Each structure stands twice: as C-alpha cells, then as structure tokens.
Amino acid sequence: MLRFEGVTKRYLRFPREIVALDRISLEIAAGDRFGVLGSARAGKSTLLRLAAGLERPDEGSVWFRDRDLATVSRSEQEHLLRHEIGCVWQTASAGSRIDIVQYVAWPLFSAGVRYRRAIRQAHELLARVGAQACAGAQLCELAASELTRVSLAQALIREPSLLLADEPSKTLDPIERDEMLELLRSTVCDKRITLVVTAGDATGIVAPTQLASLDRGRLVVRARRGGQVVPIQGQRRRPSTG
C-alpha cells in the first residue's frame, strides 16, 4: 500500500539545514494500522506530508501502491487526495469561516456529486464521528476536539483506502482521546482502511499492527506479532556534518 525507500527530507532554516527525515525505509501493507511515535519536531508530520504526496523527498522515493509520488502530475495528486488518500491534520483550516457541512462535503462537490446528495452524506458522516452538533457552525467556532472530528469526517467522505492522521488525540482529554481512538479503530476495521497515525506517546496510538518511533528524523520500526512487540533492526544515523 505505502512504501518509503531511503527517504531523506531536509529544510533550510537559515543559517542551518535541518534533516527532518534521515534515510527512512518502511513498508505498510493494506489493512495495517501503523503508529508513529515521536516528540515535537521528530519528523512525524513531515512523514505524513510525504505519504500524502504534498511534499517530495530530497533523496529516496515514496510509493503509493505502484506509483512513485514524486512522478505523479498535479492532477493525479489531486485525484489521489480526493479518492484514495484521506488526511486528518492538526490545524484543519481552523481559522476559516466556512460552514461545517459544506467543508465536509467539499471533496464530493469537487468530484461532481450533486449538491443534495453531497450534503446528505456530509450530515451522515458528521453523525458517524459524533459531530452532528457542529452542523450549522463554522470552522473558526469549533473547539479542538470538535475540529478533529469534523476533519475526520471530511477525510472519510470519499471512502479512502489510506487514512493519514496527524496526532488526532493531541488536544483531547483522556475520555475524548479514548473515544477518538476507538472511533478510528472501528472505522478503519469496518471499511478496511489502511491507517497511519502519529502521536507523542503510546496513549495516542490505536491498536497498531506496526509501531515506529521517530527521533530527530531517524526511524526505529517494531512489528506486533501474536501480541508481542518484536524489534526490527534499526537504521544507522548518518554522521553529523556540523
């Protein structure tokens, strides 16, 4: 489903260069629930943006199914994000005054679905994720927990095969966090969606079939087999250049 091959991503933060991901290699099979742990600035969000095709690696390649995401056209990338890859980001256009129902329905509008059908499906998704009370509000009026649920509804409305969720439980209290993780677990299992979810610690990960830890761009992967967590050989860190 998703494969990283020797992926390095750098950002220039004058006067120095930051290595956000350092020669990352991993493979995620269809149906996996892949959890990525790491502190702030560990590279978790960068990994998800590369997986969505929103950014391109400086070295290596990212493959979704049989496509190298660095080679797809802009229209092909838009098609993937509308039909096959759903994204739940931390910010999710929080400052926008767009109507919630129309925000959730937007992927259907852009795909040419008739207005009434799109609106009906948006209401159904909001109810499924426990955010039906948000209908009629605007994004800028939502609490963080509500914004996460609404963002999830929009990500699911096109029934993607891959769902990328960037710390969806970060701003939630323990009860809301457990509800969100159970919602993610039940949704991806019922719909057979492959999930990649990031979190600051293990309490924010939903029943992973694989678990990874990021530390300053370096990935250590572990596989869950028969209830046991089995370490997989880690990657050597590239010597520092200063």
Q: What pLDDT, in 10s, does the model give residues 10-40? A: 998 878 888 999 999 999 999 899 999 988 8
The strand pair at 162-165 and 85-88 is best described as parallel
Torsions phi, psi of 106, nearest 5? -50, -45
Residue 110: DSSP 8-state: H
Distance CA 108, CA 128 (A): 17
Q: Where do the structural domains in the chain lie, given as residue ranges?
A: 93-159
Q: What pLDDT, in 10s, does the model give residues 156-176? A: 998 899 999 999 888 788 888
Q: Which helix (H) or strand (E) holds 228?
A: strand 228-231
For the residues 215-239, what does the mean pLDDT come to?
A: 58
Instruction: Decide: helix, strand or coil at residue 113.
Output: coil
This prediction has a pTM of 0.85
Does residue 20 come out as left (phi exceeding 0), alpha (psi in the -120 to 50 range) or beta?
alpha
Min mean pLDDT across 69-78, 106-115, 227-236 is at: 227-236
Distance CA 209, CA 189 (A): 12
Provide the percentage of residues in the chain whose pLDDT is more than 70.
89
Q: What pLDDT, in 10s, does the model give residues 181-197? A: 888 888 888 888 999 99
Length of the chain: 242
